[in-house]
């Protein structure tokens, strides 16, 4: 998931490493840096879905839960 604690470049690099490891292990990975309501650029200006730029507030947790449930549903119905 994106955060204000580090750069988007570091977040993407880490996500790429995790995704490559998962691919080698034949494990599904959902990239929350790509599929999430938390966007670093927005949270830097105004905490919308996080309490502190990293940890989701109740609104962010709920919205991420809905998004993740849909993503899991999409992958299990293939």
The DSSP-derived string for the chain is ---SSS-HHHHHHHHHHHHHHHHHTT-----TTTSSS--HHHHHHS-SSBSSSSSB-HHHHHHHHHHHHHHHHHHHT-
Model pLDDT for residues 11-53, shown as the tens digit of each residue:
999 999 999 999 999 999 999 999 999 999 999 999 999 999 9
CB burial of 53-65 (b: ≥16 within 10 Å; e: otherwise) equals eeebeeebeebbe
CB 36 within 8 A of CB 77: no
Q: How far apart are CA 12 and CA 18, in angstroms?
A: 10
CB 3 within 8 A of CB 38: yes
Name the more confident of 71 and 76: 71
């Amino acid at each position: 998931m994106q955060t204000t604690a580090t750069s988007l470049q570091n977040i993407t690099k880490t996500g790429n490493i995790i995704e490559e490891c998962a691919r080698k292990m034949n494990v599904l990975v959902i990239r929350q840096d790509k599929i999430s309501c938390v966007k670093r650029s927005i949270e830097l200006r105004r905490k919308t879905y996080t309490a502190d730029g990293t940890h989701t507030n109740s609104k962010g947790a709920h919205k991420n839960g809905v998004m993740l449930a849909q993503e899991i549903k999409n992958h299990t119905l293939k």
